[in-house]
Structure 1
Amino acid sequence: MEGDAEANYAYYALHKLHIRVKDFINMDKYEKAATIAMIDLRIEKEKKEAKELKSKARVRKRK
């Protein structure tokens, strides 16, 4: 991610998790850390799923 990391996490939290930016910013450090860790896990899962879909699409094109 580029730019301010906290702003990027707030953006993701708003659009994917429907957590208002104000609520994200006002979380205590433990809640925010847990939210960020869960966002990181979700992003990794999404990347893995996208990679698998891309791989399956290549296999289909070869047939």
Structure 2
Amino acid sequence: MMGQVFPLIQIITGGAMPIAILFFGPLSDIVPISLILFVAGILPAATGVVFQITTKRAGLIELE
């Protein structure tokens, strides 16, 4: 299955790269790059915490 999924992941990543460059290039002229990297690191962590809390409340997973 990985032989079929990995090329799809590469296509999505390759397509997202120019879009990210078009968005974050001009943004870096306005906002410091350190702030962009900080926010880009916090967002996935916050998403993980929210996902963990909501799945625990819904009873979908049990944590020890």
Q: Higher RCO, 1 or 2 (CA under 8 Å, sep at least 6)?
A: 1
Q: How would you bin the TM-score normalised by the shorter chain?
A: 0.3 to 0.5
Which is greater in Rg? Answer: 2
Compute the TM-score of the two structures, normalised by the length of structure 2.
Answer: 0.46
Q: Structure 1 length normalisation: TM-score?
A: 0.46
